[in-house]
Each structure stands twice: as structure tokens, then as C-alpha cells.
Amino acid sequence: MKNFRILFVYLLLTGCISNPNLWGSEPPLNFTATPSIVETATSFLTQTITPSPTAILSPSPTAKVEDVLPEPTATPLSGEIKRVLIISYDGMRPDAIAAAPMDNLLELIKTSAYTLTNAITVAYPSTLPSHAAMLSGLCMAKNGIILDRYYKYMGYSKGVDIFDLAHAAGMRTVMVVSKDKLRQLAEPETTDVFEVRYGESAVSKEAVAQISQGFGLMFVHFAGADLRGHKYGWMSDAQFTVLREGDEALGNILTALDENGLRNSTLIIITADHGGHDRNHTGFVSEDFHIPWIASGPGIIPGEITALLQTMDTAATAAYALDLPQQADWDGIPVYEAFGKPRLKIHPESVQWPCHQWNDH
Ligand SMILES: [Zn+2]
């Protein structure tokens, strides 16, 4: 164990020191809470639906908070879910959606189950650990993705992830990503297609091409908000500009689903791996942890989700929607509320922190 820790610190100092996402000199497993996170976690513990003070939508001249709220009379799409599309905007804070504004996404939210205040990512809010938790249903220490850099000796994300399940069920599985390190998220054997594209329009172009071929599970990743955030700052005009490009890309993807007759049988989950502040997402403020979580599709009850969501719930919800088995060791829980179902399980108090290593439910 001691040797491992020495190796860990060595790797951080040698391999990641140039990485702007680094947690200082401490490895993420030594996560300690900052006061702002304590406040956030306290509100989660009591399961209140009061938005945390740091994740309130900022009204903008062109998109107000009330525009985001669905009509009370909105009814769910009828039909059966035959496929799941997970879209992750790297580094997109929930309050950036209205501030950018992302008009297509704001429109979609009106008919979605969503939360812009109650969803958080893992204890090390960075690209690889967060996405691995999102797709594996497991916390960092269980899936083994604890660094934000892909060292091949670490192998792929461990455990049974949603790509394992979908592929084993005979579904066509597709990943279109904007950072090649995301290869670590799933084994090549379980991803029929793995394409890396740079720039929001190139990603959406490839996603649209894949949609026309049909799929059972697709993961689409846009990197622009994270890249611009590191260069120009989170919530900067430059970041808003690329988010609007990502929103246009979403429009193209939705159009492709419509044109291929797939929209009414597809569950779409739109989320992010982490937020950010200033020019980083180091994990010392709550804005780094909050992520949006938006689900649209057949059987989804439009409206705001009140439960606490963890990013691992995305894999669990995808499995639930596709009628694939929940895994006993998963930390993720399906977002039953989005389907109008009672919460059969909630995250226990002992794990209502940004997770790094959880044990039992
Ligand atoms: Zn990221």
C-alpha cells in the first residue's frame, strides 16, 4: 500500500503536473471537503429540493428561468424505449445552459425530466474519472479510473458498465468523442464504433452518420466547453459561444433522430462530466461538482427531478430503460422519478458525498 501511494504521488508529480485539472499535490483518494461542499452535501442529506446557492440559473436577456420550466400539462411521449443516447458536454455547468443560451436544449428541457441543481459528479471532478463513473455505474475506486490521464497499464474501466451490458444484449454500441483518452471508458470489444472527432460540428456530423445506421447505445461527447473554459474561463463569452455551437449540434442530432424515425423510441440523456470556475475544475468549489441531468424520451414525465442524482445514475438509468440488469455492485440507481415511478432506492446517507469509494447500498 505504501509503495502504491508513493507510485501514485510520483505519477501525479511526473505525469500530471502539467495537467491543469490536478488536485494540487494530494491524490483524489484523500479528498477532504471544503466548507462550500459541506453546505451542499448537507442540503442533499436532508433531501430538500432547495437549490444550492451556487447552482441557481442566472437569467439572461434571451432565456429566463421560467422559460426552462415545462408546461404543467406536458404529457410523456408514448412508446417503448429501444435505444439510449447519452450526450455529455464536457465541463458544462448547469447554469451555463440558460446563460449561453442553448436554445435547442432549453426547448428540449420543457418536455424532459431534469435537474439543474441536484446532480453532482464524483469526488475528483475531472474528465476521465467522471465519465467512467457515468458509464460504469461505479464510483472511482471501484472502476479504477482515478486519474485524469489514460495510462495504458491501468487498463480499461473495471466492472460491468453499460457498454458491456448493451453489447452483450446484441445492441450496436457507438462512441463518438472529442478526447482520445476516453478510449479508457470501455473495452474495444464492447464498442462496435469508437470515433474521435475534434470540434462540435465534426462530432455531430459523425453522430448523425451513426444514427442513420441505427444503434442500441450511443455516447456522444463534446469537448468545447472544457477547452474554452481552461483557456478563457468558465462562463466566459468564449465558452458560451462554443456551447451554442454544441447546441446547434444537438439540433442536428435531434433532427437526425426524427428523420430516421427513431425519436419516439429513444431515451436521450444529456449531462456533463463536471462544471468549473475561473479556468479550472479543481474540486475546491461546488461549481466544479454540479452537473446538469436531462432525460427525454418515451415514458419520461416532464418536470423537475427532486431527488439527489449522482453521475453513476446515468448508467443505471440507461440499463433500466433498456431492460438490462442492474448490477449488484453499482453505486448508480435508476432515476425512477423521471419515469414517474416511486424511488425504490435512494443514495444512502453514507454515500451522499461526491463519491470516491462506496460500499453497500
Ligand atoms: Zn471534462
Q: Is the Cβ–Cβ distance between 111 and 297 less than 8 Å?
A: no
Strands 266-271 and 217-222 come out as unpaired
**Confidence category of residue 339, pLDDT binned at 50, 70, 90:** very high
For residue 77, the CA-to-ligand 1 centroid distance in Å is: 32
Q: Is residue 105 part of a domain?
A: yes
Peptide bond into 348 cis (omega under 30): no
CA pair distance 86, 92, nearest whole angstrom: 14
pLDDT at residue number 62: 39
Q: Is 10 buried (19+), middle (13-18) or exposed (0-12) by CB count in 10 A?
A: exposed
The predicted structure's pLDDT at residue 357: 60
Question: How far is 181 from 86, CA to CA, in rounded Å?
Answer: 18
91: CA distance to ligand 1 center in Å?
Answer: 5
What percentage of residues in the chain have a pLDDT greater than 70?
A: 75
Taking only the tens place, the pLDDT of each residue in 277-317 is 999 998 889 999 999 999 999 999 999 999 899 999 999 99
User: Burial level of 59, CB count in 10 A (0-12/13-18/19+)?
Assistant: middle
- Å from CA of 36 to ligand 1 middle: 21
Q: Report the distance separating Cα 301 and Cα 110, nearest Å.
A: 11
Q: Helices 237-259 and 200-213: crossing angle, nearest 10°?
A: 10
Compute, in angstroms, the gap from residue 90 CA to the centroid of ligand 1: 5
Alpha carbon of 51 to ligand 1 centroid (Å): 23
Distance 128 CA to ligand 1 centre (A): 7
Alpha-carbon distance of 100 to 110, in angstroms, equals: 17
What's residue 349's pLDDT?
Answer: 59
Q: What is the per-residue pLDDT for 28?
A: 38
Look at the chain and report how many structural domains it folds into: 1
Q: Which domain CATH number covers 325?
A: 3.40.720.10
- 204: cell is 455531430
Q: Could you read off the pLDDT of 254-271 as tens digits, one per residue?
A: 999 999 999 999 999 999
pLDDT value, residue 16: 34
Give domain status of residue 20, yes or no.
Answer: no
Residue 173 belongs to domain spanning: 33-351
Mean pLDDT along residues 242-250: 98
Residue 83 lies in a domain: yes
Arithmetic mean of pLDDT, 19-28 = 36
Q: Answer for the pair 249, 221: CB distance below 8 angstroms, yes or no.
A: no
Dump pLDDT digits (tens) for 126-156.
999 999 999 999 998 889 888 888 888 888 9
What is the pTM assigned to this prediction? 0.80
- 280 CA from centroid of ligand 1 (Å): 10
Distance CA 325, CA 333 (A): 12
Ligand 1 centre distance from Cα of residue 92 (Å): 9
**CA of 129 relative to ligand 1 center, distance in Å:** 9
> Is 23 a domain residue?
no
Report whether pLDDT(2) > 50: no
Q: Which residue has the cell 424515425?
A: 261
- Residue 76 Cα, ligand 1 centroid: separation in angstroms? 32
Say if 115 falls within a structural domain.
yes
Report in angstroms the alpha-carbon separations of 300 from 88, 211, 318: 19, 21, 13
Report the C-alpha gap between 11 and 26 in whole angstroms: 11
Say how many Å lie between the CA of residue 276 and the centre of ligand 1. Answer: 9
How far does the centroid of ligand 1 lie from the alpha carbon of residue 16, in Å?
A: 15
| Residue 38, in any domain of the structure | yes
- Residue 357 covered by a domain: no
Flag whether 27 is in a domain. no
Task: Give the Cα-Cα-Cα angle 175, 210, 250 (nearest 5 degrees).
Answer: 80
User: How remote is the CA of residue 347 from the centroid of ligand 1, in Å?
Assistant: 24
Residue 281 CA to ligand 1 centre (angstroms): 8
pLDDT in tens, 84-128: 999 999 999 999 999 999 999 999 999 999 999 999 999 899 999
User: Cα separation of 79 and 87, whole Å?
Assistant: 21
Q: What is the mean pLDDT of residues 237-250?
A: 98
